[in-house]
Amino acid sequence: MNIFKKEYWLSSARELKDIRKLAFAALICAITVALDGVARIPLMQGLEIKMTFFIIAFGCAVYGPVTGMLMAAVVDTLCFFIANTGYAYFPGYMLTEVLVSLLYGLFLYRQKITVAKLFCAKVCTNYFCHVLLNALWSALLYGRGYLYYLWSSLVKNTLLLPIEVLIMAVFFALVIPPFAKMKLLPAHSERELARLTFFAKKEKNNG
């Protein structure tokens, strides 16, 4: 489905009326909040993988960017109040998470999910949201200069990118078949349910 078409956004908005999708969104929200700050894999000093990113991405693939953005705002707010470390609430980071869910939704919702699309989605979220935007929020909050945070975040997200894409590819390869059969990932045909391919094969028209 074309993201530039009105029907794409109407379809995404209609997910808010689907009880099954809303229940799934609530489940994704609960899992993300429960795992936030806990499910992390340390790689080296100052570098770790937050193991909720692929759960958020999968949720957006199922219920789309509209519900995904709302869930991102809810999750960010709940995580702040549940794990409050004494810092004041800053809405910039919530905006970052909302845009992350928007991008995941645009790349994955009602699309044939491939490694190439997962890679593009992660590149956009890492560099636009986590590097460009979060560096701005950090500069506003802590005052060490935008370029300082930009370069440190750029190095970190570049190192994490291939590992995160690999994790996403493995996770989606496992969940696509059962969820596609439940009609929660309708862009996948029966012939594509066995494995995640690098490039989605185009269906041949019988006419």
Domain span including residue 17:
6-187
Distance of CA 90 to the CA centre of its chain: 21
Question: pLDDT tens, position by position, for the chain (207 residues)?
Answer: 778 888 889 989 999 999 999 999 999 999 999 888 676 776 766 677 888 999 999 999 999 999 999 999 999 999 888 876 556 688 999 999 999 999 999 999 999 899 999 999 999 999 999 999 999 999 998 888 899 999 999 999 999 999 999 999 999 999 998 898 888 888 876 555 554 444 444 444 444
pTM of the prediction?
A: 0.86
User: Residue 93 falls within a domain, yes or no?
Assistant: yes
Q: How far apart are CA 82 and CA 80, in angstroms?
A: 6
Domain of residue 171, CATH code: 1.10.1760.20
Distance of CA 98 to the CA centre of its chain: 9
Number of domains the chain is built from = 1
| Residue 40: closest CA among 128, 160, 137 | 160
Per the document, the length of the chain is 207
User: Residue 205 falls within a domain, yes or no?
Assistant: no
Are 41 and 153 spatial neighbours (Cβ–Cβ below 8 Å)? no
